[in-house]
Every structure is written in C-alpha cells, then in structure tokens.
Amino acid sequence: MNFLRNLLASILGSLMAFGILVGMFFIFIALVSNVDDGVVVKRNSILEFGFMAPVVDYTGKDDTDPFLGLWNNEVGLDEIVHAIRVAKEDSNIEGISLTTNFLQAGIAQTREIREALLDFKSSGKFVYAYSDYYSQKDYYLASVADEVYLNPVGAMDFKGLSTEILYFKDLQEKTGVKMEVVRHGKYKSAVEPFLSNTMSAENRLQIQELISSIWNVIVDDVSASRNITPEDLNVIADTLGARTPKYATASGLVDGNLHFDEYEDLLREKVYIGQDEDLNYIRFEDYALTANRKRIYTGVDKIAVIYAQGEIFYGEGGKDYIGQGLIVDALRKAKDNESVKAIVFRVDSPGGSALVSDIIWREMELVKEKKPVVVSFGNVAASGGYYIGVGGDKIFAEPTTITGSIGVFGTIPNVNELAGNIGINAEQVGTNKNSVDYSLFEPMSDTFRNTIEEGIEDTYQTFLERVAAGRNMSVDQVDALAQGRVWSGVDAQANGLVDELGTLDDAITAAAEMAGLDGYGIRKYPKYKSDFERFMENLGGVKSKIGEEAIKEQIGAEAYQLFSEFKQLSKQKGIQAKMPFSLNIK
C-alpha cells in the first residue's frame, strides 16, 4: 500500500513539475514576444539587410505563435519584399544598408529582392552596400546599390556561372547497389548520372545554354546598375579582373575599399549626423515584425496567393514539400471563398510524384472554371513543378527561373549484386504468374520492366497533352520542347512555355486586372502547422531537425547536399515527373 501511495505521489509530483516548467516557458516566450512588439523605428533610421538564414518563398509564419522562430530560422521572400515596400513609405527610414554575406537564396529570389530594392530607390531614398567578401550572388544583389564598398583586405568572386553534376555508375558497380532506371526512350540526359560516368554531349549543351542564359540576365542587370557594358563585364569575368579589392575598384564593380568604420562614416553623412553620433540601425528581422502589421494591399475583395514549394510527394505536404493534401485544400478554400476574386499560384519546385502533380493539375482546372488563375514561377518550375502550373490562365516566370524539364522516369534501387557478395539469397513464393512483387534482392524481370515502361509512356503522353492544352500547342510541338529539356525563363517564354517575365507582384497585378479589381487585399495559403503544434505533436521531430543540423555542421554543406539527395531519393514512390539531375549553380 505504501508502495502504491509513493508511486502515485511521485507521478503527481512529476506532472506538477512538468506543468510548472511549461508555464514558466510560456511566460518567458510571452515576455520575449512583448519585447518584439515594442520595436520602435526611430527617425533617421537605416534598415540593415544582412541575411544569414535561408530564403524560401513562404514560411507561413504566425506572428501569434509563442514558439515562433525557435526551430525555424528561415525567412520568407514575401516578408523581405513586403518589408522593403513598407520601408519605402516609412518616413523614419532614410535608406537601406546591404551587408549580406553568402546569401542563401536562389538566383530568381535574389533578382526579386533586387527588383524590390530598385523600386525602393525610386522614392529617392538611398541603398548602400558593404561586404568583407562578395560571392557572385551577393554581388548581384549588392550591385543594385547606389554605392558598393569592399573591405581593403577582402575578396570578390566574379567569374561567370558553373555547375557540377555527380555521376554514380562506377560507385554502383563497386558496391553492388544500383538504381534500376526506366525512362522514356528519347531522354538522352534523364537520370544520366546513374547510367554513365561522363556527361553526354546533349546534356552538356542544354546545361551550357541554361547557365549562359541565366548569366546573361545577371550581366544585363549589373550592366544597367553599374553602367558597365555587358562586353566589359564578361572581360572582367574572363580575366578574373575583380579578384582583389583594388582590381574590383579599378574595374568599376565597386566604388571603393573601406573598412567598416569608414563605411559607417559615409552612412552618417547620408543621414546628416555627426561623426561621433551613433547610427540608428534597425535589423530586418526586427523591422519585419512592424512591417508585417502594415498592409500595402487593402480592400474587401481578395486575391489568394497559394504557395507550392519543395519536391512533390504523395501525402499531406508542408512548408518543405508539396503534397496533394494541403495544396488541394488551399485551392478549394480559395475557390469557395466569395471574397476571393482571383488566385495566384506560386510554384518553386523541381517536381516529383507524377500522380500528385496530376491531382493538383486537375484541381487547378476545376478552380479555373470559377475564377482567374495566374501562375508565378520562382527559382525552379521543372517537370512536376511545371506540370502543376501549366493549367493557369497566364504564367509568369523570372528570367532566371529553371523551367520545363517536361518528362517522366522511374528509379528503383536494387541490391542483388551486393546481396550475392555478402551471402544473402531471397526466395519468393506467389499464387499467380505476376503475384510476386519486385524485390530489391533479385534482378528486375522483363515483365516488371515492361509494365513500368508502359506506365511511364502513358504518363509522359498525359503530361504532353496537359501542356498542349494549357499552352495552346499541338502535342508534337510540346514533344519537341520536352524530352526532359530544361530552359531558363527567357528561353521558356521564347518557346511559349510561359507568357510573361516578371515577379510575383507582376502576377498579382495581372490577376487583379483579369478579375477587374482596382483595390484588393491579399490572402495567403496554405496555413502550415505552427512550431508549437509540431512541437506538441512530435517531440522527435525537433530532435531530428537538430540532428540534421549537427550532421550538416560536421560533414560540410556540399557533402550534406549529397546526403539529402540520397535521402529524398529513398522517399520517391511511383513514376516521377522531376528534374533528372540536381543543379547547384554557382
């Protein structure tokens, strides 16, 4: 009896202690939130942009979430652009200082930020930039500034774009672990890394043309901002003419070599304060809390902006991957909401499950019968990412968007050779001729391969028909542009795969025109689970996230990217409409 009484007392005491700890934690979070709510923008303030966190199109943050930001260190492109627009009209903000190093954003996202900064400058306010080291992407963003400065002992990278693709044929032969690849017969480059150790001429040509088109956009934009001809910029790149601070200044890419304190003296002159006075900096992260409460778009009528970002997998979906659950639900809510008059579908995806892509495409068709749908492509809208957007009434892409890759394939792991080498033998028993499913431990049978090929051919044909209907082309015309070929946004527009080149805001403006709206507000979808909800549902998820960050820190960013690609590969099920290789353009 005493044992039971002591046991119950211990359990009760533990529960009370846990409750007290949780209560204290919430009090702490509330206090932190109250401090954030008290952010004050002083007169003569300078908005400081120094992004360290990865940039995604949309984080779905809830400002009322007490756990906001505890585990999610991403920043939304929508937040960045919105904050710049609010700052443009904020009389307390005199200008912007860009101090970004190693910007973790795609080239299309970088260009969209750049466009917002150009618009900010149209108000007469200044944009200055400073860095100890400019990567090419950092400089592309910084080049929009009125003046650009580099540390006298810093460095700069300006040499043109390149990319690297890893090939695994020998690795498969040495380990006995291989990927069985089933693809449409004409795909010269599809899943090539699993079939060869070298890049085919066709693949090299398409990648060369892709990155050259993207580089030309960057060069043209820098040329306009820095008043240097594209020809001279390419000479600088070819000769590494900006490799030292002095060369960077002599070439005209930067305006001078200054230490940071000297750069701050220039800022003091811009805001008309003495050299011994402190600058009123306000960090973007703090200003965003204020900016998020101010609406640029206002009106009873709404335009829904639905974000689809990440690879495409069967399931509910979330902020890191696209599933039919959240996206279909968001499309239906926007369609059925009477205040929503038009929809903008924002896509940033290399593709994935062909089945899920078609489910989302079908829902887009149903929505389009009731309301205008404009599609906006971000960093990448390839294969399944293109598939889900092709049904829109009008498609916008950034000039640097990786677009197209219209094709399907299947990759299935097989360890038959490895199993034989280590003494494993698998035996199957079935009731009918084809009742035994595919086994990792046995070579792929001709019957199974033929069945998969049949499914891939059907899916590819369906994909072509979806694109032909959406783009008002013949199936043969689409097929000539397909075969897994990737295009830049510029080339995609020239080939009729997109309608216009422009930002997300350009797409929103077009949607408003199609709906006949003068004034309108914005409603964003989908609504993701908050950090608090995910924390309470699965404590293991937090540990997993922390574990992945630890792995990344230990093995380095490039090795972790390879690890992540293999991890995503293991999740693929069914026929894939996905970019057949990973491009890390740098």
The residues carrying an active-site annotation are: 188, 383
Looking from the CA of 361 toward its CB, the CA atoms found within 13 Å total: 26
- Helix, strand counts (H, E) of the chain: 21, 22
Are 576 and 411 contacting, i.e. CB atoms less than 8 angstroms apart? Answer: yes
CA 134 to chain CA centroid, Å, is 22
DSSP 8-class letter at 199: -
* DSSP for residue 528: P
Is there a contact between 531 and 72 (Cβ–Cβ < 8 Å)?
A: yes
Pull the structure tokens for residue 293: 């409460």
What six digits make up the tokens of 505? 């805001």
Long-range contacts of 558-564 (CB under 8 A, 24+ apart): 562/166
> How far separated are the first and last CA of the chain, in Å rounded?
71
Contact 579, 350 (CB under 8 A): yes
N residues, the chain: 586
CB-based contact 534:541 (threshold 8 Å):
yes
- Which of 409, 362, 432, 448 has its CA nearest to residue 194? 409
Contact yes or no for 314/356 (Cβ under 8 A): yes
Calpha distance 377→344 (Å, rounded): 10
Distance CA 61, CA 68 (A): 7
What HEC string does 443-488 produce?
CCCHHHHHHHHHHHHHHHHHHHHHHHHHHCCCHHHHHHHCCCCEEC
| Cα distance between residue 310 and residue 317, in whole Å | 9
Helix/strand/coil for 60: coil
Q: Please give the full DSSP string across 383-449, using - where no structure is assigned.
A: THHHHTTTTSSEEEE-TT-EEE----EEEEEE-HHHHHHTT-------SSTT-SPP-TTSPPPHHHH
Nearest to 50 by CA among 126, 112, 128: 128
Output the CA angle 536-540-543, nearest 5 degrees. Answer: 115
Alpha helices in 227-342 (DSSP H): 230-238, 245-251, 260-270, 284-291, 324-336
d(CA 123, CA 142): 18
